[in-house]
Amino acid sequence: MTDTPFISPEKARELAKRFGTPLYVYDENALRRAAEACLAFPNAFGLTVRFAIKACPTAAVLKLFDSMGLHFDASSIYEVRRAMHAGIAPEKISLSTQELPLEFSDEIKAGIRFNACSLDQLERYGSAFPGTRVGVRFNPGIGSGGTGKTNVGGPDSSFGIWFEYADAVRFILKKHGLTLERIHTHIGSGSDPVIWQRAALASLEMVKKFPSVDTLDFGGGYKVARVHGEKTTDLRTCGAPVRDAIAQLAEETGRKLHFEIEPGTYLVANAGSILARVQDVTDTGKFGRHFIKLDMGMTELLRPSLYGAQHPTAIVPSLQRANTPPRGEVAYVIVGHCCESGDLVSCAPGEPEQLAGRFFHEVEIGDLCLIGGTGAYCSSMSAKNYNSFPEAAEVLLQADGNARLIRRRQTLEQMLQNEIA
């Protein structure tokens, strides 16, 4: 993949002129298509698709998914508040968090759903809300992620309650008169579908131990191909055996479990691109490298520096030279604007420190660069304000072809507003 599917060179030039760079651009049609694919996830007795807010918490994106009937997975109380601020009904928000704050009662009273992710969280919830219904996140004992940093299951992972502690869970439930209504697992991002299926079937075994459970939440983690050679998980194939196992359980026991999934990446990754400008082109001599320096970097896109993640890149020549015949191809290393050699856009797969060249016809200062696959964990997960670069603006390319500003570019005043000199 060397091109970014939804932005033509003309559109890229128009957006850069109108909104400036760097700019996150989301495509409404692509967001809708991804949501529809998730809503078709195989299920036997009903499905709730929760968008993992952390992937892209911008209000306009949340509202779009809300209008399509999606619910939401929050990973902190702040995400809960942010979603509520965007107008999402509290009943549609589920909180599964590594850090349950001391004060969480208002949101629970407002109607959000909660999955206790540790025994202590369950105890605290039970003390505050005895006699209510609650969910529990279990660590099913296996995990799988695209990288070690995104694997959140198995003995090396602190996420969820270890599956062997079912008796301790039962004890706390009883102590506070709680009813366990939902079992939740999430084993990683970029999970191997086969391991995901094993984890899902392991959750089903947990369900058998807790007769009150009526909902199984399988988390997210479905793979998305951003560049050639990567593979997107086929949701239908992946979910079918789990649906069948749940149908079988219903035949045996009469229990008709509701399904939940919580994709983040799958819903937004390929619906977003970053539009940047080439602000310098340098080289290190005859036997050295050629570099493209962009006006963005780890301040907008941290995934290459963090995981060695691959994102497709395309150059849009400036209008002056768009009609002149392209010159020869050169292998360019694409770097960001931060003062670190680790601020690399084109690294080798899985190797954040290893430079990798991308071939382009000779690039010039002023050209635009599109970086694809950047809808998930980019604007929400970056080295914000490093080197005091302001947060980039965001636009939504609407289905009618118009671009709408959905987040303004940060100003210097906003960056400094909490400082006390």
**Binding test (CB under 6 A) with ligand LLP, winner from 57, 193, 220, 304:** 220
**Binding test (CB under 6 A) with ligand LLP, winner from 47, 348, 381, 406:** 381
Name residues contacting ligand LLP, limited to 77-96 (CB under 6 A).
96
Q: Give 66's contacts (C-beta < 8 A, 6+ positions apart).
A: 72, 87, 88, 92
Residue 375 in contact with ligand LLP, rule: CB under 6 A: no
Query: Minimum distance from CB of 201 to ligand LLP (Å)?
Result: 18
**Binding test (CB under 6 A) with ligand LLP, winner from 264, 297, 317, 372:** 264
Structure tokens at 37: 């694919």
Query: Minimum distance from CB of 237 to ligand LLP (Å)?
Result: 17
**Binding test (CB under 6 A) with ligand LLP, winner from 22, 135, 219, 304:** 219
Query: Nearer Cβ to ligand LLP, position 75 or 313?
Result: 75
Residue 311 in contact with ligand LLP, rule: CB under 6 A: no
Residue 189 in contact with ligand LLP, rule: CB under 6 A: yes
**Binding test (CB under 6 A) with ligand LLP, winner from 262, 295, 367, 391:** 262
**Binding test (CB under 6 A) with ligand LLP, winner from 28, 66, 73, 300:** 73
**Binding test (CB under 6 A) with ligand LLP, winner from 303, 311, 358, 407:** 303
Residue 265 in contact with ligand LLP, rule: CB under 6 A: yes
Of the candidates 261, 264, 186, 184, the residue with the CA atom closest to the CA atom of residue 223: 264
Query: Minimum distance from CB of 306 to ligand LLP (Å)?
Result: 7
Query: Minimum distance from CB of 297 to ligand LLP (Å)?
Result: 16
The one catalytic residue among 56, 117, 338, 339: 339
Residue 150 in contact with ligand LLP, rule: CB under 6 A: yes
Q: Which region, judged by CB under 6 A, interacts with ligand LLP, from 85-93, 347-355, 364-372, 375-383?
A: 375-383
- Is 338 considered catalytic here? no
Query: Nearer Cβ to ligand LLP, position 242 or 315?
Result: 242
By the 8 A CB rule, do 377 and 54 touch?
Answer: yes
Residue 26 pairs with which residues in a beta bridge? 272, 396
Residue 266 in contact with ligand LLP, rule: CB under 6 A: yes
Q: Tokens 């990288």 appear where?
A: 147
Query: Nearer Cβ to ligand LLP, position 249 or 265?
Result: 265
Residue 377 in contact with ligand LLP, rule: CB under 6 A: yes
Pairing assessment for the beta strands 133-139 and 113-116 based on DSSP bridges = parallel
Q: Which region, judged by CB under 6 A, interacts with ligand LLP, from 264-272, 327-335, 348-356, 385-393?
A: 264-272
Residues found in the chain: 421
State the Cα–Cα distance between residues 128 and 177, nearest whole angstrom.
12
Q: Which region, judged by CB under 6 A, interacts with ligand LLP, from 256-264, 339-347, 384-392, 393-401?
A: 256-264
**Binding test (CB under 6 A) with ligand LLP, winner from 186, 293, 311, 407:** 186
Q: Tokens 């340098």 appear where?
A: 282
Query: Minimum distance from CB of 221 to ligand LLP (Å)?
Result: 4
Question: Which positions touch ligand LLP (CB under 6 A)?
Answer: 52, 55, 73, 75, 96, 150, 186, 189, 219-222, 262-266, 303, 376-377, 381
Active site members: 339
